[in-house]
Amino acid sequence: MNGKKSICAPSILSADFTKIDREIKKAETAGAIWLHLDVMDGQFVPEITFGTKMVNDIRKKTELFLDVHLMVNNPENLVVPMVRAGADAITFHVEAVVHAHRIVQSIKNENVLCGISIVPSTPVSLITELLSEVDLILIMSVNPGYGGQKLIPSTVEKIRQLDHFRREHNLNYKISVDGGVNRNTVSLVKKAGVDVFVAGSAFFNSEDPAEELKVLETI
């Protein structure tokens, strides 16, 4: 990990939506500085989660950095609404768009961080042309759509590739990973070069979330 500390971003996907105030407070009390918000449309991924109203309601309850992950078709339609709702970063899937660079420009024009994400079957080579333009690369280490899945080991190599490319070309994007990160796998992604790791089930289903976050960030 080259001595750097990775950020743990609790994923609201694994929270109890009926007690969202309590769940947000749980993340704050644990010492989290990011919250990961998975927006799913039932088309790009099988499940449906929430839209701009939930993001706006969460924004009213916390000052934490809101990392909004658009797992949707036509993500360009949600850029401005999500910024207005309070997103601090917007990440879209390159598989869901044709004109990816245009969306990158539209996100950056809103003065929030811009991220791109790829699913496990998509190679890093597909996003090489965008790496100098974005702030965040999100590697999906499970097939998106459901929480509680096991990390796919081959996805760790993508983190290594992105870390190598970043150093080779003197770029500053953050590398994030989402899916199956827990006490058994967090060291793998950290050693590969991750800056941010999303923890859903590992955090919100823990008996002591504060202790879990501390352990995950220090392993």
Q: Annotated binding site for substrate: which residue ranges?
A: 11, 69, 145-148, 178-180, 200-201
Enter the tokens of residue 136: 């965040």
DSSP notation for 26-74? HHHHHT--EEEEEEEBSSSSS-B---HHHHHHHHHH--SEEEEEEESSS
* C-alpha to C-alpha distance for 63 and 57, rounded to whole angstroms: 12
Q: Annotated binding site for a divalent metal cation: which residue ranges?
A: 36, 38, 69, 178
Q: Annotated binding site: which residue ranges?
A: 11, 36, 38, 69, 145-148, 178-180, 200-201
Catalytic residue numbers, as ranges: 38, 178
* C-alpha to C-alpha distance for 37 and 33, rounded to whole angstroms: 13
- For tokens 């799913």, the residue is 40
Stated as kind and residue range, the H or E segment containing 83 is: helix 79-85
* C-alpha to C-alpha distance for 94 and 163, rounded to whole angstroms: 19
